[in-house]
Structure 1
Amino acid sequence: MNFTEYPVTKDNNMNTTTPTIAVLGCGLIGAPVARNLANKGFKVKVWNRTAAKALALVQDKLQACASVAEAVSDADYIVTVLKDGDSVASAMAAGSGHFRPGAKWLQLSTVGIDAAASLAQLAGQQQLVYFDAPVQGTRQPAEQGQLIILAAGPQAGREGVQTLFDAIGKRTLWVADEAGQASRLKLALNNWAFTLTHGLAESLALAKGLGVDPALVVDVVSNGPMDCAYFQLKSAAMLAGNYTPSFSVANAVKDSRLILDAARQAGLYAEVAGAGLHRFERALAAGHGDKDMAASFLAPDLPA
């Protein structure tokens, strides 16, 4: 597989005809994506199933729409930033008959292998040009326009698409021409992030269970070969009990299941991913679904 990385250029100069962008989904990632696009001069129309979230974004060059059809009717680009494949498919079905033929669809949600394929087929049926483009990064990188975009899609039209990616991210990795390849890469990356989260959470929990101050674990690792920014960020959250969501436990459960489905399709036995899913599910069952995935630390112990 060939990887081509395109440099990001932050240029506020727009073409004479400013493209209209429909952003479907105004959650932790979708809302800052819409704001950053508007701040770069694009005309942005937003829709969200919970209308209040869309209305909260209204500003110059950013319009809230009451329906998907209203949002996409004159859009040159459609950007989906929704929870899962079913949510994306449902939203796009609601726009059926209102899309501009040839409009470009940038699918930023993490949907897994099967949904990525079915959404690509849906794009063809709706006469849309499909770009499979899940993003790496959570709320803070999204707010700062520092997402990493994993993109797959046809060579034709990439230049315009890249302009949008530059408005929301610091780096774009073009993975392949074939839609779906970027979604596959995203699952591998999420598996790594979840593994780091659980390893840290379990290590701090083990120290606590053994009567050792968990902060000592962080102290020993800091500034050593095992240290990294992610370790510092999540350990600080766990020790402080601050679970303000950047990426929720509920979403982590969804993505962990997608990872295991992908592993099965690849003929792999992903025992670490399976154990991680069980830990997230325990945290979810304990009422921590809306908390940041650092709440893996709060997963209750299994009965003896």
Structure 2
Amino acid sequence: MRVTVLGTGAMGAGVAQSLLREGHDVTVWNRSRARAEPLAEHGATVADDPGSAVAEAEVVLLTLFDADAVVDVLEQAAGDAPTDTVWVQASTVGVEGSDTVVQIAAKYGVTLVEAMMLGTKTPAEQGKLTMLAAGPSATLDAIDPVLDAIGAKTVRAGERVGEATALKLAANAWIASITAATGQSLAIARALGIDPSLFLQAIEGSASDSAYAHTKGASMMSGEFPAQFALDGLRKDIGLITDAARANGVSTTLLDALGRVYADASAAGHGKDDIAAVSTAF
């Protein structure tokens, strides 16, 4: 299929590589062209602006940082795509942001679905993300080849755009919690005079085990935090999750604490590092 990826940060670039590997005709655009140009070596066409990027697209993936970026790009490019193009909102924009994107899509008469990406940079590059999709079943069926190229599985959250966003917020609340909890347990073990790796040995294979704890725990113990999921990106998501929880009567006690812990790590200079750097806050 002819697929355009708008936004080639860590996730967008990985998604583009997976699409190319599966034989799709891929066009990419990024606000900073230098971040998109390396994809030309893999066979992608690099566009100069969003409008030209979508001019022949069957599917457009919006892989941008936040709601403001999605709205801006959609406003720029919606009128330049073929009328039957399917636009796939894949950015974590929160409940209000999702509602705004739906309104903009309706304004321009474009077909919009959601496909949130659950995973980090490496799974994106390997085509092993979990895709959280929402939208009319027939439309999602039509873009299955795209979702299959970038994901190991697709979970359909419902037929209304916004339901996949809700599922992504719930999932990222778990990611934020388990990553911070891993850092806390390692810090407690170290402070009490034992090898922190014993904590990971203790939970291994038990009902409380988590592959994520081992992956992030290894990074925490090494003190090396190459970004798979940037800490400031998760901080943004925690804010969106907190807003959604508060607006719908869910206690934000844990979310407020998570927000403070990740903010402390960011203030210490780890905003662009991997979320495992939250361990430094302990």
User: Scaled by the length of structure 1, what TM-score is found?
Assistant: 0.89
More helix by share: 2
Q: What is the identity, as a one-letter code, of the residue corresponding to 1:24?
A: L
1:178-197 equivalences under 5 Å are: 178-197=160-179
Deviations 1:31-57 (A, max 9, x none): 111111122222111001111111110
| Equivalent residue number for residue 80 of structure 2 | 98
Look up the SS of the partner of 2:154 in the other structure.
Answer: strand
CA distance in 2: counterparts of 1:26 and 1:279, whole angstroms: 28
* Gap change, CA 1:218 and 1:157, over 3 Å in 2: closer
| Equivalent residue number for residue 242 of structure 1 | 224
Assess if the C-alpha contact under 8 Å between 1:238 and 1:297 holds in 2: yes
Deviation at 1:78, TM superposition (A): 0.8
Q: What is the identity, as a one-letter code, of the residue corresponding to 2:277?
A: A
* Gap change, CA 1:155 and 1:276, over 3 Å in 2: same
CA distance in 2: counterparts of 1:29 and 1:274, whole angstroms: 27
CA distance in 2: counterparts of 1:159 and 1:204, whole angstroms: 44
Deviation at 1:143, TM superposition (A): 1.2
203-212 vs 255-264, which moves further: 203-212
| Equivalent residue number for residue 231 of structure 1 | 213
Deviations 1:65-117 (A, max 9, x none): 11111101121111011111111111222214312223100111111101111
CA distance in 1: counterparts of 2:202 and 2:42, whole angstroms: 49
Alignment equivalent of 2:12, drawn from 26, 30, 42: 30
Cα RMSD between the aligned structures?
Answer: 1.4
Look up the SS of the partner of 1:185 in the other structure.
Answer: helix
Deviations 1:227-269 (A, max 9, x none): 2211111111100112011111100100000010010111111
1:140-219 equivalences under 5 Å are: 140-219=122-201
Deviation at 1:213, TM superposition (A): 2.6
CA distance in 1: counterparts of 2:11 and 2:102, whole angstroms: 22
Q: What is the identity, as a one-letter code, of the residue corresponding to 1:100?
A: P
Q: How many aligned residue pairs are there?
A: 282
Does residue 63 (structure 1) correspond to residue 63 (structure 2)? The answer is no
CA distance in 1: counterparts of 2:96 and 2:167, whole angstroms: 14
Deviations 1:1-39 (A, max 9, x none): xxxxxxxxxxxxxxxxxx321100111111111111122
| Equivalent residue number for residue 12 of structure 1 | none
Alignment equivalent of 1:275, drawn from 257, 277, 281: 257
Assess if the C-alpha contact under 8 Å between 2:10 and 2:121 holds in 1: yes
Unpaired stretches in structure 1, ≥5 consecutive residues? 1-18
| Equivalent residue number for residue 288 of structure 1 | 270
User: Scaled by the length of structure 2, what TM-score is found?
Assistant: 0.96
Look up the SS of the partner of 1:58 in the other structure.
Answer: helix
Assess if the C-alpha contact under 8 Å between 1:41 and 1:61 holds in 2: no
Deviations 1:192-225 (A, max 9, x none): 1111111111111122233333222223222333
CA distance in 1: counterparts of 2:13 and 2:42, whole angstroms: 15
Assess if the C-alpha contact under 8 Å between 1:34 and 1:46 holds in 2: yes
Deviation at 1:121, TM superposition (A): 1.3
| Equivalent residue number for residue 67 of structure 2 | 85
- The 4+ residue runs of structure 1 with deviation greater than 6 A are none
Unpaired stretches in structure 2, ≥5 consecutive residues? none
1:249-264 equivalences under 5 Å are: 249-264=231-246
Q: What is the identity, as a one-letter code, of the residue corresponding to 2:21?
A: N
| Equivalent residue number for residue 133 of structure 1 | 115
Assess if the C-alpha contact under 8 Å between 1:102 and 1:127 holds in 2: no
